[in-house]
Amino acid sequence: MLIDTHAHLQDKSLLPEVEAVIQRALVAGVETIVCPGYDLESSRQAVNLAQLYPGVYATVGIHPHDADTLDEKAMAELHRLAGERKVVAVGEIGLDYYRDLTPRDLQKKAFIAQINLAREINKPIVIHDRDAHQDVMDIVKQEKAGRNQGIMHCYSGSLPLAIDYMKQGFYISFAGPLTYKNNRKTAEVAATIPLDRVLVETDCPYLTPEPLRGKRNEPAYVVHTATFLAQLRKKSLEETAYLTTRNARAVYRIKG
């Protein structure tokens, strides 16, 4: 059995058929799905889905694209949501310099504020890092953000950076791009780092793995990423599923 550690079930392309999506995941061997928030509304939806479906858990947070919305009122609401039943982390939070939809100083401010929230409530964080590797690491070290552990979601950095994150208390999560032929750097990381820090995810409805690339992604497809990871590590899919599930339960503190 697998855990999809990052799946946007509340996305408008998945939500209308979410029961069927969850059922297909179960048939594929995906027993647990973590649904991350990326703004207040999606965080509320994630919490609602977690309370409706036994195998679904939620994270709540403000994505760097929406960092300018994290005012005092929004922070209070986020704090309330973070205390709801089956909320297992604060995220996804971080920095995104690829699209730069919000000024970088506001992204950093929101990132640090949410790290502090996670510290206050003793929960891990889920980090989004796109083209902001050095600034994310600087903040992680400055704020001791790995104190309650956390996840580098959809990892795209180098092997030395991944090792540094693991030293800070983080797990490294791989999504569909791991399976892409031109993604040798990510494959090197996945093939090398200790298996006790590896996670798999879909980030659905985005980043569909091979051989289904081009279709809308969903949690059932995390099996393809796990299969590719197993081949990289010269392990069976069963052992890889066991290890990544154990890791996900550990970081999210989900009891098996």
Q: Which residue has the tokens 């985005």?
A: 206
Q: What is the token pair recorded at 130?
A: 């796109």
- Rounded to whole angstroms, the Cα distance separating 229 from 237 reads 8
- pLDDT by 10s per residue, the chain, length 256: 999 999 999 999 999 999 999 999 999 999 999 999 999 999 999 999 999 999 999 999 999 999 999 999 999 999 999 999 999 999 999 999 999 999 999 999 999 999 999 999 999 999 999 999 999 999 999 999 999 999 999 999 999 999 999 999 999 999 999 999 999 999 999 999 999 999 999 999 999 999 999 999 999 999 999 999 999 999 999 999 999 999 999 999 999 7
CATH number at residue 101: 3.20.20.140
Omega prior to 120 cis, within 30 of 0: no
Name the nearest CA neighbour of 22 among 30, 99, 140, 148. 30
The answer to whether residues 228 and 7 touch, using CB atoms and an 8 Å cutoff, is: no
The answer for residues whose C-beta is within 8 angstroms of residue 202's C-beta and 6 or more apart is 4, 6, 7, 175, 176, 208, 209, 217, 218, 219, 221, 222, 225
Q: What is the token pair recorded at 32?
A: 């647990």
The answer to whether residues 158 and 172 touch, using CB atoms and an 8 Å cutoff, is: no
* Structural domains of the chain, count: 1
- Rounded to whole angstroms, the Cα distance separating 256 from 246 reads 9
Q: Show the domain range for 60.
A: 2-252
Name the nearest CA neighbour of 126 among 93, 174, 88. 93
How many residues can be counted in the chain? Answer: 256
The answer to whether residues 208 and 214 touch, using CB atoms and an 8 Å cutoff, is: yes
